[in-house]
Amino acid sequence: MLQRRTDLPTIEILGINFSATTQDQLVATVDKRLRNGQGTFAVTANPEIVMYARAHPEYAKLLATQPEEITADGVGILLGGKILHTPLPERVTGYDLMLALLQQANQAHRRVYLIGAKAAVVAAAAARVRRDYPNLELVGTHDGYFDLSDAKVAQAVIDAQPDYVFAALGFPKQEYFLSAIRPKLSHAFLMGVGGSFDVLAGVVARAPGWVQRLRLEWLYRLIKQPRRFGRMLQLPKFVLAVRREARQRDNND
């Protein structure tokens, strides 16, 4: 079984060890590892993912042992760190990190594979990547409508020998898929990016910059997508769980 390894400091929040890193630091770390033939499996985790892991031991075990880096994707995670008196440096979102790494791939003439979303969406995302990052090599794409037991899909990604795999499959599917192909792509950067292809393709608009700066992107998304309300309920549950953990830590001191 792979043991999680990282040369970055970590901060534990509800059993998840988050990498205490800025986006720039992480991008530089990934580049150094790739140059040394060393891959990275990254997870960008929000409160919903943390709460899912607490309810699903198999997924929690994956997060504890597989990814080198787990970043704070969500203001709720930053809040959790503050409540526990172990603040994280900044939010590192899947979408922003993906763009930074696409730029890195472009500069270094590396190979990229996109998998996930609807066929039309991943095609549009691929078209934007080819337009905006002409020096990278897009070695393959595949939509997200496949079963994890379909070995042909995984083998197609492996055969393409990408340096970066961005999987927009939604959690936990994207993490299970990436952990399955990782042994054959030990040199590559692997990351699940949720709904990022929809934004990259222009199908979904991201919150305006001022909304992001106010850390209200969650509210903007809820207004635009009311069906997310049930998922948003995980945030108060997360905060309550963090406050309980903070009290337990204080009592043990």
Which positions of the chain have pLDDT values less than 70?
Answer: 1-5, 205-233, 253
- Give pLDDT, residue 216: 54
- Give pLDDT, residue 3: 46
Give CA 68 to chain center in angstroms.
12
Distances (CA, A) of 64 to 38, 61, 76, 93, 133: 19, 5, 20, 20, 34
Please state, in angstroms and rounded to a whole number, the distance separating the CA atoms of residues 90 and 191. 19
Please state, in angstroms and rounded to a whole number, the distance separating the CA atoms of residues 26 and 23. 5
Please state, in angstroms and rounded to a whole number, the distance separating the CA atoms of residues 74 and 49. 10
Q: Write down the pTM of the prediction.
A: 0.89
Bridge-based pairing state of the strands 69-72 and 40-45: parallel
